Structure 1
């Protein structure tokens, strides 16, 4: 399953917000065997979001879009997805009923906060999704996410985004497997070995340079677990390897930061 991730937000591009959503999503999808082929950050521009959704929904098995979905003027993500898929943007009746009940409960619990505020418009905006889309409802946030065709729309707030992903995570199961070797060798010295292993085995090999406190990494991936293991064994015989770095607090357990034993994740 090849996936594209689109994170939407002027604040991300301005540097005032760190884009943790994309890295978190990519890691979780990779763990499940999907392949993230592209990550893009774009502003809160309805036409631009719609353009990428229209094109990428044809180019990828799944497109994941995270951004503002709460119904405020700059929350254009869901509406833009509807545009990109050439669908109407409509109020979902069941979602609206749920939000009306939730708003009433909030008003009763916080009368001073909402005494002079009419939540009607906010409810309609938050309950709107592309026509025919499947809502993703969680307890963590106000407005729901949704699935329209192969486009998944999650909230931009990290806790809400994570809850929405977990609700549909089984849909991102794929066939890709990966193993990681750690090496003290400088990246420049690995060229011949990396070229040779790619020629011998039908695998993709990523090389990540060492840092002051962490050895270099060689990540071997393929859809065939046996081929991955063969490539890993070949690399072990031809490249100097080392134990995984020990995460803080794991000194006695002898595991790396991902909780895996040995030199291979």
Structure 2
């Protein structure tokens, strides 16, 4: 299966502004790209690429004052299979976890494990270990939070999402992450493309999405508390501890987002 993915974002910068953009497909999918998904800016400016501490590809540049457009586009070769499920995947004791997973047990900017630990154990302490416990977390979060773009707030934390019971996909992800970490399951925040391929219409306008990956049975597994069902064509862009680690754009100055378009489309 071939999937066209890309985005186009237009900004108005009030002054010359340094920017970091994380808009490229993750390195784990680079071999699936039919062409590089270079970041194209209009007007053109020098761009420096680098990898952050999680291995995500980042682009840094200085935007001139005025209007600027950022664009990426590529075709991804995909298996066309639904997100895999492994119900027998087991939870690994902390003392046996690989060292590089331990940071994903800790509290972070948006995931206050200290505030949610007692709640997590009271809700899920009786659930079977492993896959079933994570599924119980995602089922609860999916039902707990009411989705709506009008509910979006960039400062909302996992504990606030639990109390307010509303939000967008990042809020679902943050609450599920916090609960999993409270339950001693390494969990990381993911951002990227999710398609509607294989689903009945109508389809929502294109957008980037957030989901989680949890470490069970010696590898990372995908869970999606927002949609809470498998998808075809889930394409990772970046992962980190929470949304603070993987902003689409990080701008060091005032600006206005003028337009935002995301494409995820199956090609013949």
TM over 0.5: no
User: Which structure has the bigger radius of gyration?
Assistant: 1
Structure 2 length-normalised TM: 0.24
- Structure with bigger helix share is 1
Structure 1 length-normalised TM: 0.24
